[in-house]
Amino acid sequence: MAASLVFRLHDGGPELVREVLLERGWEEYDKGEQEEEDWNLYWRASAFRNSEYHNLLPWQRLNHHPKTVGITRKDCLARNLRRMRSTFGSTLYNFSPTAFILPNDYTRFLSEYTKERLTRGLSAYWICKPVDLSRGRGIFIFEDIKDLVYDSSVIIQRYISNPLLISGYKFDLRIYVCVKSFHPLTVYMHQEGLVRFATEKYNLSSLNNLYAHLTNTSINKFGPFYTTNKERVGQGCKWTMSKFRYFLHSQGINELLLWQRINNIVTLTLLTIAPSVPSSPNCVELFGFDILIDSKFKPWLLEVNYSPALTLDCQADVSVKKGLISDLIDLMNYRSIDSLRERAYQGHKYKQPCYQASQASQVSTLVLSKFKELKSQRRRRSGSQSSQTQTLPLLKVLCQHQPHKISQSQFRQHALVAGCQKYLDLNRIPVARGRIIHANIATATKTQTHTDRALNPILGPHSRTTTAVVNRHTRPAVASCLMDNRALYMSEVTNHDDTETEMEPSGEAYVCSAIPDIPQLGLGSLRSKPAAGSWKLPNIHRYRPVKLPLEGARAPDREKTPPLRVGDFILTFPFNKATLKASQNKLDVKLAIQELHKLTGQLASGSRQSDKKKWREEDMVKKDEGVRTGEEDFESLFWGPKEPLLLSQCCSSTNKLQSIAEHLHDTNLQRQSS
């Protein structure tokens, strides 16, 4: 019998997370029944307290990283992007509309406003937004400064007055981004997302009509035309990203550069805070990036949402968000059993908070000393012990410790601990077998390198992870290896990581910036090294099989390569060997930005294909000489199209782009007709 994974929801929601996790066989945390620390995932829309990060136990995950307010609060984001613009240049950091934080920047705004008026007359528009509100609350658009009235801290942004319209309706994109880890920076973007429409036709002569200028669902669902069947847009105010993609194809639009630019926006934005976010291996974060596309197909970043809405308002929400959460859980790489949580009750070391591994926690010290005492008494009485009898004192200790209550969970843990040794033994299996399987993969085909070999081996029955399916269709030899490989990997642990009420960063979220720095991996001598290895969670990177190096060659550092695809999540950073290296240890922001810049240039010019050819030729020579280059080990997928291509395939000639567009078009047609 194995322990179910346990989730804990703050304030009873979001309902969607509950639904997905229950379907996957998780249990919901019950305060009355379970111990305070007896959960695997704690989900809340608002920020966690500092102490919650500091007291995290190895099997526990939180759905927020600390200190991300630097991009999730409008004024902080504006300030950070301004800083990056002055460091790295406005050519790269030119994706957010010019912004002023008032009242502080009033004089600067006034001078810009005057300049605009002199050069462009009355055609410059501005949008005013309270810095700490969301869902369109308190927002208005103005042309004349006499209409600017505010009584709290606001940002004034240049209003993108030439948005791309569909049948006259304004829309923006909600892109879901998961930061699996900030150290090393590991970013996934979900291929599905939402397109959010205004429900009245765009018209610059009615700036007060929020139903025409704002795309928030929370506003438009109360509009008079919400349920009307609007030309091309249809009823409601949302499309799925797939539908939008289909629309682009039907218009003959080459979208690849658009997706890459959006990808760049996400990465460049995250790079603004990545070095200052404390390392927190037990956390993941799902951000909602709001992107507006203008009539010249330039994407603009409007804001980053801390807790993107997870309510299901319409069919588009259902098809996008359920899959999104399911993929996010897959990305967290939980095991179907949680033997680490079980073992916590067997041995002291696992009960140390992740960030305080060197300091014994009070509770665990008590448990440990009682446990040791009983254990030595038992030893004195009998020479040998079975694993079954070893578990008994634990329950007793817990009962003595809390004589008033023997919860269901304690009984459950007791029963489970008995089987724990079995799992411990199993842990040894993968290493040996993994090598054999990997050797098979290696001989199968070269294209395997962009598949997700390291995917969660034990995916629940409701897992949406599609990698193997995709690859079975496209690369049959690899797919079967993948499936075999998954079955072999039994491991011990869970791994780490709302409402059209898009939650605003609460006051609490802002407090996060006051968290003292937590010891961070590889961030220079100022930061202390993580203490005992015992607290470190195996993460998804670790399950990647280690390839046996060719004789005489150095073993490549492959275990750190994250899976390229998990469900509909595509790894977007790191995206090549250079960025993988840049993301290890101390994040090299400059190098990462250079690589991004290079890639976009290559995509635009199609030059990468020839580079690739050259590298391959060089690789062949090196291989003939018995040297493993590692180049083939990390070939990224391109975020954007539903059937992701290799990045190198996208960076080819215009003809190639054309055939890709045709392929995507056909795929979509097939999907639509089925």
Residue ranges binding ligand ADP (CB under 6 A): 97, 127, 129, 133-137, 139, 157, 159-160, 172, 214-216, 290, 292, 302-303
Pairing status of strand 41-43 against strand 27-28: unpaired
If the CB atoms of residues 127 and 468 are measured against ligand ADP, the closer one turns out to be: 127
- Tell me how far, at minimum, the Cβ of 210 lies from ligand ADP, in Å: 9
- Tell me how far, at minimum, the Cβ of 216 lies from ligand ADP, in Å: 5
DSSP line for 180-236: EEETTEEEEEES--EEEE-SS---TT-TT-HHHH---HHHHTTSTTSSS-BTTTBSS
If the CB atoms of residues 104 and 162 are measured against ligand ADP, the closer one turns out to be: 162
If the CB atoms of residues 133 and 204 are measured against ligand ADP, the closer one turns out to be: 133
- Tell me how far, at minimum, the Cβ of 123 lies from ligand ADP, in Å: 14
- Tell me how far, at minimum, the Cβ of 204 lies from ligand ADP, in Å: 11
φ/ψ bin of 92: left (φ > 0), alpha (ψ from -120 to 50), beta (otherwise):
alpha
Cis ω before 103 (30° cut-off from 0): yes
Residue 288 one-letter amino acid: G
CA 117 from centre of chain: 42
If the CB atoms of residues 209 and 440 are measured against ligand ADP, the closer one turns out to be: 209
Let me know: does 500 contact 174? Beta carbons within 8 Å. Answer: no
Q: Which of 343, 333, 334, 336 is nearest to 419 (CA)?
A: 343
If the CB atoms of residues 174 and 322 are measured against ligand ADP, the closer one turns out to be: 174
If the CB atoms of residues 309 and 571 are measured against ligand ADP, the closer one turns out to be: 309
Kind and range of the H or E run holding 650: helix 647-650
Task: Report the C-alpha gap between 156 and 126 in whole angstroms.
Answer: 6
φ/ψ bin of 220: left (φ > 0), alpha (ψ from -120 to 50), beta (otherwise):
alpha
- Tell me how far, at minimum, the Cβ of 157 lies from ligand ADP, in Å: 4
Residue 547 one-letter amino acid: K
Instruction: Please give the angle made by the CA atoms of 33, 38 and 43, to the nearest 5 degrees.
Output: 100
If the CB atoms of residues 172 and 330 are measured against ligand ADP, the closer one turns out to be: 172
In terms of C-beta distances under 8 Å and separation of at least 24 residues, what long-range contacts does 49-55 make, across chains too? 49/508, 49/511, 50/511, 50/512, 50/514, 50/515, 50/516, 53/278, 53/280, 53/283, 53/355, 53/515, 53/518, 54/353, 54/355, 54/356, 54/518, 55/353, 55/355, 55/356, 55/361
If the CB atoms of residues 67 and 174 are measured against ligand ADP, the closer one turns out to be: 174
If the CB atoms of residues 70 and 393 are measured against ligand ADP, the closer one turns out to be: 70
Helices 256-273 and 654-673: crossing angle, nearest 10°? 100
If the CB atoms of residues 293 and 540 are measured against ligand ADP, the closer one turns out to be: 293
Alpha helices in 475-564 (DSSP H): 476-488, 507-511
- Tell me how far, at minimum, the Cβ of 239 lies from ligand ADP, in Å: 15
With the CA atoms of 505, 511, 517 and 519 taken in that order, what torsion angle do they form, in degrees rounded to the nearest 10? -60
- Tell me how far, at minimum, the Cβ of 504 lies from ligand ADP, in Å: 7
Phi, psi of 521 (to 5 degrees): -65, 125
Let me know: does 565 contact 640? Beta carbons within 8 Å. Answer: no
If the CB atoms of residues 143 and 631 are measured against ligand ADP, the closer one turns out to be: 143
If the CB atoms of residues 63 and 157 are measured against ligand ADP, the closer one turns out to be: 157
Residue 521 one-letter amino acid: L
- If DSSP codes are grouped into helix, strand and coil, which group holds residue 331? helix
The strands making up 61-62's β-sheet, listed across from edge to edge, are: 27-28, 6-9, 41-43, 61-62
- The Cα-based distances of 482 to 165, 248, 430, 544, 555 in angstroms read 43, 34, 14, 11, 22
If the CB atoms of residues 217 and 449 are measured against ligand ADP, the closer one turns out to be: 217
- Tell me how far, at minimum, the Cβ of 96 lies from ligand ADP, in Å: 8
- Tell me how far, at minimum, the Cβ of 302 lies from ligand ADP, in Å: 4
If the CB atoms of residues 161 and 495 are measured against ligand ADP, the closer one turns out to be: 161
- Tell me how far, at minimum, the Cβ of 208 lies from ligand ADP, in Å: 14
Pairing status of strand 6-9 against strand 27-28: parallel
- Tell me how far, at minimum, the Cβ of 243 lies from ligand ADP, in Å: 18
- Tell me how far, at minimum, the Cβ of 82 lies from ligand ADP, in Å: 15
If the CB atoms of residues 76 and 650 are measured against ligand ADP, the closer one turns out to be: 76
Q: Token pair 């840049």 is at which residue?
A: 582
Beta bridge partners of 566: 569
- Tell me how far, at minimum, the Cβ of 251 lies from ligand ADP, in Å: 21
Greatest alpha-carbon span in the chain: 94
Q: Which of 33, 73, 79, 40 is nearest to 58 (CA)?
A: 40
- Tell me how far, at minimum, the Cβ of 322 lies from ligand ADP, in Å: 23
If the CB atoms of residues 223 and 434 are measured against ligand ADP, the closer one turns out to be: 223
- Tell me how far, at minimum, the Cβ of 318 lies from ligand ADP, in Å: 21
Task: Report the C-alpha gap between 338 and 349 in whole angstroms.
Answer: 16
Let me know: does 69 contact 273? Beta carbons within 8 Å. Answer: no
- Tell me how far, at minimum, the Cβ of 135 lies from ligand ADP, in Å: 5
